[in-house]
Amino acid sequence: MSLTELLNVRKLFGADQEEPGPEAYRELLVMVLARATDADAYTDPAEVETVQRVLQEHLGEDISAADVRVAAKSALYETAPLEQYISRVGARLPKPQRLQLVHALVEVVNADDKVASAEAAYFNKVCSALELSFADLAGLHSD
């Protein structure tokens, strides 16, 4: 998948209200993790490498560092906020996929061994947009 051709993302950032297709989780994972590398306005190479590793583990795809950087600074974010896309698509994914995405995001944010306040704010926005509660994030399951 070429990161410059995120067609489902483009549709969802636009006026269409289409249901997310089978590529939704893949594109959401790529966009959320790539954007995390630039959440604090500095793209640490360790974060980019972590995104590449996590995407390989979760999707079985090799994504170049250049593609990660392009996705992190994509002009798509000027069309609509990423949180809007996450809300439209991510909140409709099954809870296990949403939690898997958040756990992958934690890996990326922690990749450089420091968490900036902007990264923490980005994490909170993603969790909120995914409609995950504190209990969900803590692994607490109600009966």
Number of domains in the chain: 1
Query: Does 31 reside within a domain?
Result: yes
Return the closest-CA partner of residue 107 out of 57, 40, 42: 57
CATH number at residue 114: 1.10.3680
Tokens at residue 44, please? 């640490």
CA angle 112/31/10 to nearest 5° reads 160
Residue 107 lies in a domain: yes
The pair of structure tokens assigned to 83 is 């949180």
**Residue 8, domain extent:** 3-14+22-137
- Integer Cα distance of 85 and 89 in angstroms: 6
Tell me, what's the pLDDT at 21? 58
Residue 143 lies in a domain: no
Per-residue model confidence as pLDDT tens for the chain (143 residues): 555 455 555 554 454 455 555 588 999 999 999 999 999 888 899 999 999 999 999 999 999 999 999 888 876 666 677 888 899 898 889 999 999 999 999 999 999 999 999 999 999 999 999 999 999 999 887 65
